[in-house]
Chain A
Amino acid sequence: MTVLHEPVDGAVRAFFAAIGRTARLVGAALAGFPAVLTRRDCRHTFARQLFIVGIGTLAVATVVALFTGMILSLQLGIAFRQLSLEGMVSTTMSYAMLREMGPFMTGIILAACVGSAMAAQLGTMTVNDEIAALEMMSVDPVRFLVVPRLWAMTLMAPILSFYTCILAFLGGALVGYTQLNIPFLQFIQGVLDAAEMKDLYVGLLKAAVFGILVSGISCSVGFATTQGAAGVGASTRRAVIYSFLAILIGGYFITRCFYVL
């Protein structure tokens, strides 16, 4: 599949053309999974990307998750205490984190920490003719560059989302213990009692979809880079913004699919 293309005239047409290209890119990259197993170079890039996505974002994810949990616990505690329902804090947190906040925060972290760098790297390669050079050598840029990135992020996102949830619960329990007088283990028990398998699965699925969206959008935006260094900057910004929008819009529709009023 060729990833380079000439600019499309007209903002609306260009927008839909970009969506079409991104969809084709994602389709080709998903179908290209066997290369991760069979091609040495693809495997190496995949391993490196797993590291970048998993270990590289761990510090940020830890801080974000802990404090999100603490903030949620504090606010819920203030609200529920007036109703004498402190026990509901852990229940509500369980729902919120597993179903929505865990995957959502993971997606945002991936877009900001990893997707931006992907768009910048592929954008720089595009303006330096490296992508054109790959195509001239009949080396498929999708297999060579996109398959390992997309699959690494897609497989790592649910793990990161799960980690984010666990740390948020710990942060919440900490605030519960120090500020709301809820025993630590009781808070955790409350989280576990409220958690349903379905919430976990849907949350993890959502995280995986966000991984596809963020990596697919970031790669596609990177390949569409024009006009040198300034263009790389513009692509980086665009990749983050489009990823955020896709996470929000996609997140809503996934929720709609699995939960009805």
Chain B
Amino acid sequence: MSSESEPAVSFEGVAKSFGARRVLECLDLSVARGEILAVIGPSGTGKSVTLRLASGQLFPTAGTIRLLGEDLSALTADALSRLRRRVGFLFQGGALLGWKTLAENVALPLVERDRLPPADIEARVRAALAEVGLADAGDLYPAEVSGGMVKRAAFARAIIEDPEVLFFDEPTSGLDPVMSRTVDGLIARIGRNRHAACLVVTHDLAGALRYVDRIAFLKGGRFLQVASPRELLAHPHPEVRAFLEAQSLEPTP
């Protein structure tokens, strides 16, 4: 059973291959409750795969992944489904249902799972949409709005049930700088106030440095460096240094 002191998510020697293609070599990591950890790294290194592993959408070829204390590979489908009620996930592309409006999409977890009274659902959905700046867009369909708006609605859907663990796959890609900061602020608030563990995959290092607790740099199937923003800027791994410089973030002397 999960206790407060136990990490919300932990990877022990995790490897993942697709057929002959080895994507992740050996990952070791743990994320505590209330901690916000950013995963950065070059495109195509397996950041999205890492999130899918952590949420039980994919299973590791080797190693163990624990989510809220449960070994994901050992769970039955039912138990996994129950565990997922405590987890929120933002997909890289949003993954909203095309035949439902933004508001209906955001309401889906509440309607399908909790069966709350319609008035409560409506109030919560309206509040969640307002938080991501979509107060007037609730009645539009995903095909009628921009990619950034889809992303924000998907963000609202991921957080609507106050999950204990949150996975965000590039929450700010496709958003304008102001909205990116808003979303960063929301993630920071969720991490602090609700004591939820957040794993955030992002390319927006400058934004992440402001609010995350630790940053994990993934490349070649391994975390080359896991460090706090301050440490990372002070002593970047050579690969990380190149990443920082490309984003015009100078390591501190």
Which A residues form the contact surface with B (CB < 8 A)? 1-2, 4, 6-7, 9, 41, 125, 128-130, 132-133, 135-140, 144
Contact = CB atoms under 8 A, between A and B. Distances in A.
A136 B166 CA distance: 11
Contacts of B97: 125, 130
Nearest to B97: A130
A41 B112 contact: yes
**Residue of A129, A133, A138, A144 with most chain B CB atoms under a 10 A cut-off:** A133
B57 A136 contact: yes
Contacts of A140: 81
Q: Helix, strand, loop or mixed for chain B's interface?
A: mixed
Contacts, number: 59
A139 B2 CA distance: 24
Given A129-B93, A129-B95, A138 B57 contact: no
Contacts of B95: 128-130, 132-133
Contacts of B113: 137-139
Contacts of B84: 135-138
B96 A9 contact: no
B87 interface: yes
Contacts of B92: 129
A139 B89 CA distance: 13
Given A9-B19, A132-B52, A138-B84, 13 more contacts: A2-B77, A6-B58, A128-B93, A129-B93, A133-B89, A133-B95, A136-B57, A136-B84, A137-B113, A138-B85, A138-B113, A139-B112, A140-B81
21 contacts: A2-B80, A6-B58, A7-B18, A7-B19, A41-B112, A129-B93, A132-B52, A132-B57, A132-B91, A133-B91, A133-B96, A135-B81, A135-B84, A136-B84, A136-B87, A136-B89, A137-B108, A137-B109, A138-B84, A138-B109, A140-B81
B55 interface: yes
Given A1-B77, A130-B95, A130-B97, A137 B19 contact: no
Interface residues of B, number: 29
Contacts of B88: 136
**Residue of B57, B87, B98 with most chain A CB atoms under a 10 A cut-off:** B57
Contacts of B82: 138
Contacts of B57: 4, 132, 135-136
Nearest to A40: B111
B97 to A, nearest CB: 6
A2 B78 CA distance: 9
Contacts of A128: 93, 95
Interface in B3-58: 18-19, 52, 55, 57-58
Interface in B63-96: 77, 80-82, 84-85, 87-89, 91-93, 95-96
Given A4-B57, A128-B93, A129-B91, A138 B81 contact: yes
Contacts of A125: 97
A130 B35 CA distance: 28
